[in-house]
């Protein structure tokens, strides 16, 4: 069967549930996309230049793909992944593509295969099944499409029917690309492309160049970041600048979900770290304390807080040494939420003005910790399965493990969290199909009437993310 004609993709195999899933999916398949969190480079849309060759678009930047080949002994340099020291890597797009196609069987049963196949068929209208034999044919077809004006980033944005896309920037970013987008009518508050405040590089004491970054934060804002009070003032000032550029949320990538109020000791820890004399435990304590500070800032300025804990960054040290961050060397770890979040929840958990969206890389916490927390605190919502968990099987298990305790309305809607612009419509489509299948089962088991399932699926696909992330009622 050609990959494009799979109308029942991911729907239940049982015929009566499949029929219900079709009906439910029909209500959301064409709805606009709300993408509240991701890592698309804003320059892509600000500059609207043609994409490079198929390999540089689809393979080189996709760490899901390059890490799988690495796991079978193919070094990332052979797939064109840049090196830190500038030593040479493969630059021929066609050679990269052929090498990738030779290993395509590795992706059987993975979401990467599903996303890429659906990208070929739905975005590029190419039905040829990828294999070592068809590698050149698929590459040439993709390259031909990419050369045309219909495949410029802004044209694709329109075709994908994206209503809002949030990118993610450091407080040290000058937001110049977002200013250009605003000048073109694409950005700014209520715009189609907005930013997200992600302060990890000025908060995590173990971040390379943390102290230099804090100096820079002072230069950008005119605040004295030699003092803790000046540091907080500088962060508040950057948050205001981000809000002016359209941001509605902040994002915090910590190793753990730990929160802590250091009180007056926060300034002492900050001073030690600024003098290069941080003590063991300072880094985790300071990060935990800053989550409370950011919650306080959120109460004032209204930014929704997203918390992304649980990744051991750069676990593959060889990979990090050669190719740097975010190239597939991170590994999830056990993550605890109940005790970790208690200080934050004691302080602000019942305040409906605060909105914290929790993500996890530890699936075991869905039933035991996250659903009970989100089902009992006004400030908490559950984010969609993220990264290693962004897959049809886990999206399904997420609904199965969370709904009975937290319901649907303590979840925040699907988040693609992707760097891969062309995969955005595909990923949202997968989530909508899985939700249609889950709701179809509830209907078939007489646990939910069809009209309420119909309302729910539209809420999950569109209304909830828009409301949770404060994208307002603006229509495209
Ligand atoms: Zn992210």
308 CA distance to ligand 1 centroid (A)? 8
Structure token pair of residue 124: 């590029």
- Separation of 50 CA from ligand 1 center, angstroms? 25
> How close is the Cα of 65 to the center of ligand 1, in Å?
17
Cα–ligand 1 centroid distance for 375 (angstroms): 24
Tell how far the Cα of 101 is from the centroid of ligand 1, in angstroms.
28
Gyration radius of the chain over CA positions: 22
Q: Residue 221: what pLDDT?
A: 98
Residues 6+ apart with CB under 8 A from 160: 33, 424, 425
Cβ–Cβ under 8 Å, residues 231 and 220: no
- Burial of 13 by CB count in 10 Å (0-12 exposed, 13-18 middle, 19+ buried)? exposed
Q: Which residues contact 3 (CB under 8 A, 6 or more apart)?
A: 117, 118, 120, 121, 127, 129
Q: Determine the distance separating the centroid of ligand 1 and the alpha carbon of 62, expressed in angstroms.
A: 14
Expressed in angstroms and rounded, the spacing between residue 41 Cα and the centre of ligand 1 is 12
Indicate the SS3 state at residue 6: coil
DSSP H helices, 147-209, are 153-159, 176-183, 200-203
E strand or H helix at 405, and its extent?
Answer: helix 392-406
Distance in Å, CA 97 to ligand 1 centroid: 27
CA proximity to 298, closest of 258, 247, 353:
353
pLDDT band at 476 (very low <50, low <70, confident <90, very high): very low
What is the average per-residue pLDDT within 261-279?
96
- Reported as a single tens digit per residue, the pLDDT across 104-133 is 999 999 999 999 999 999 999 999 999 999
Instruction: Look at residue 147 and tell me whether its pLDDT is greater than 90.
Output: yes
Q: What is the pLDDT of residue 4?
A: 55
Q: What angle do CA 263, 265, 271 make, to 5 degrees?
A: 130
Q: How far apart are CA 41 and CA 386, in angstroms?
A: 19
Q: How far is the CA of 39 from the centre of ligand 1 (A)?
A: 6
pLDDT score at 208: 83
How many A from CA of 339 to the centre of ligand 1? 24
Q: What is the whole-number distance in angstroms between the Cα of residue 379 and the centre of ligand 1? A: 21
Q: How far is ligand 1, taken at its centre, from the CA of residue 383, in Å?
A: 11
Kindly state the tokens that stand for 328. Answer: 């597939």
387 Cα to the center of ligand 1, angstroms: 8
Report the separation in Å between the CA atom of 475 and the middle of ligand 1, taken as the mean of its atom positions. Answer: 25
User: If you measure from the C-alpha of residue 37 to the centroid of ligand 1, how many angstroms do you get, rounded to a whole number?
Assistant: 6
Sign of CA dihedral 466, 472, 475, 476: negative
For residue 235, the CA-to-ligand 1 centroid distance in Å is 20
pLDDT of 277 strictly over 90: yes
Distance 182 CA to ligand 1 centre (A): 23
Q: What distance in Å separates the CA atoms of residue 192 and residue 18, rounded to the nearest whole number?
A: 35
The per-residue pLDDT for range 322-351, each reduced to its tens digit, is: 999 999 999 999 999 999 999 999 999 999
Q: Calculate mean pLDDT across residues 450-470.
A: 98
Q: Kindly tell me if the per-residue pLDDT of 315 is higher than 50.
A: yes
Average pLDDT estimate for 366-375:
98
Residue 102 CA to ligand 1 centre (angstroms): 30
Question: How much is the average pLDDT of 199-215?
Answer: 95
Average pLDDT of 244-257?
96
- Residue 61 CA to ligand 1 center (angstroms) comes to 15
- Judged against a pLDDT cut of 70, whether residue 78 lies above it is answered with yes
Burial of 87 (0-12, 13-18, 19+ CB in 10 A): exposed
What would the mean pLDDT of 384-411 be, rounded to a whole number? 98
Tell me the CA–centroid distance for residue 312 and ligand 1, in Å: 14
What spacing in Å lies between the alpha carbon of 63 and ligand 1's midpoint?
13
**Distance from the CA of 416 to the center of ligand 1, in angstroms?**
9
Instruction: Look at residue 305 in the predicted model and tell me its pLDDT.
Output: 98
Q: Is the pLDDT of residue 289 over 90?
A: yes
Cα 441 to ligand 1 centre (Å): 31
Q: Which residues are within 8 A (CB) of 21 and not within 5 positions of it... i.e. 6 or more apart?
A: 8, 11, 12, 433, 436, 437, 439, 440
pLDDT tier at 472 (50, 70, 90 boundaries)? confident
Interatomic CA distance for residues 27 and 432, integer angstroms: 10
List, in sequence order, every residue forming a beta bridge with 307; answer none if it has no partner.
252, 358
The alpha carbon of 16 and the centre of ligand 1 are apart by a number of angstroms equal to 37
pLDDT tens per residue across span 58-76: 999 999 999 999 999 999 9
Cα 361 to middle of ligand 1, angstroms: 12
Distance 381 CA to ligand 1 centre (A): 17
- How many Å lie between the centroid of ligand 1 and the Cα of residue 251? 8
- Ligand 1 centre and the CA of 378: distance in Å? 24
Q: What is the pLDDT of residues 221-248, one digit of tens each?
A: 999 999 999 999 999 999 999 999 999 9
Measure the CA–CA gap between 42 and 267, rounded to whole angstroms.
35
Higher pLDDT, 400 or 2: 400
How many angstroms is it from 139 CA to the middle of ligand 1?
A: 29
What's the CA-to-centroid distance between 442 and ligand 1, angstroms?
31
Is-above-0.75 flag for pTM? Answer: yes
The pLDDT, as a whole number, for residue 474 is 43
* Mean pLDDT estimate for the chain: 96
Residue 475 has pLDDT above 50, yes or no: no
Average pLDDT over residues 354-383: 98
Checking if the pLDDT of 1 tops 50, the result is no
pLDDT score for 34: 98
Q: Which of 327, 44, 3 shows the shortest CA–CA distance to 138? A: 3
- pLDDT over threshold 60, residue 82: yes
**Is the Cα torsion angle 114, 422, 150, 132 positive or negative in sign?**
negative
């Amino acid at each position: 069967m050609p990959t494009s004609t799979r109308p029942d993709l991911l729907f239940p195999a049982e015929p009566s549930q499949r029929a219900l899933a079709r009906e439910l999916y029909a209500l959301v398949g064409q709805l606009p996309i709300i993408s509240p969190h991701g890592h698309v480079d804003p320059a892509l849309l600000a500059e609207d230049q043609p994409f490079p060759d198929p390999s540089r678009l689809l393979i080189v930047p996709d760490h899901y793909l390059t890490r799988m080949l690495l796991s079978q002994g193919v070094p990332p340099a052979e797939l064109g992944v840049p090196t830190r020291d500038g030593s040479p890597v493969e630059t021929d797009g066609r050679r990269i593509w052929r090498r990738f196609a030779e290993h395509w069987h590795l992706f059987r049963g993975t979401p990467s295969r599903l996303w890429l196949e659906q990208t070929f068929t739905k975005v590029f209208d190419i039905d040829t099944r990828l294999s070592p034999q068809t590698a050149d044919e698929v590459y040439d077809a993709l390259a031909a499409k990419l050369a045309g004006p219909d495949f410029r980033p802004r044209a694709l944005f329109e075709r994908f029917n994206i209503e809002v896309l949030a990118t993610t920037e450091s407080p040290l970013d000058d937001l110049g690309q977002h200013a250009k987008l605003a000048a073109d009518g694409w950005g700014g508050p209520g715009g189609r492309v907005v930013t997200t405040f992600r302060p990890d590089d000025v908060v995590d004491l173990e971040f390379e160049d943390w102290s230099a970054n804090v100096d820079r934060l002072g230069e950008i804002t005119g605040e004295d970041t030699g003092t803790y009070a000046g540091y907080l003032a500088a962060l508040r000032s950057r948050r205001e600048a981000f809000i002016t550029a359209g941001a509605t949320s902040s994002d915090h990538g910590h190793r753990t979900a730990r929160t802590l109020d250091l009180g007056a000791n926060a300034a002492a820890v900050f001073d030690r770290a600024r003098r290069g004399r941080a003590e063991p435990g300072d880094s985790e304590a300071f990060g935990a304390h800053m989550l409370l500070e950011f919650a306080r800032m959120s109460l004032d300025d209204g930014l929704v807080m997203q918390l992304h804990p649980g990744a051991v960054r750069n676990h593959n040290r060889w990979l990090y040494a050669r190719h740097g961050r975010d190239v597939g060397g991170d590994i999830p770890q056990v993550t605890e939420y109940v005790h970790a979040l208690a200080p934050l929840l004691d302080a602000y958990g019942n305040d409906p003005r605060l909105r914290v969206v929790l993500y996890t890389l530890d699936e075991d916490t869905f039933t035991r910790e996250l659903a009970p927390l989100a089902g009992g605190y006004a400030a908490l919502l559950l984010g969609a399965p993220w990264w290693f968990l962004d897959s049809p099987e886990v999206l399904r298990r997420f609904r199965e493990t969370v709904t009975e305790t937290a319901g649907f309305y303590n979840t925040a809607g699907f988040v693609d969290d992707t760097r891969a612009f062309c995969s955005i419509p595909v990923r949202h489509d997968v989530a909508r199909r899985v939700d249609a299948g889950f709701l179809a089962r509830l209907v078939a088991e007489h646990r939910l009437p069809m009209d309420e399932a119909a309302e729910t699926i539209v809420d999950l696909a569109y209304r909830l993310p828009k409301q949770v992330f404060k994208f307002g009622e603006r229509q495209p």
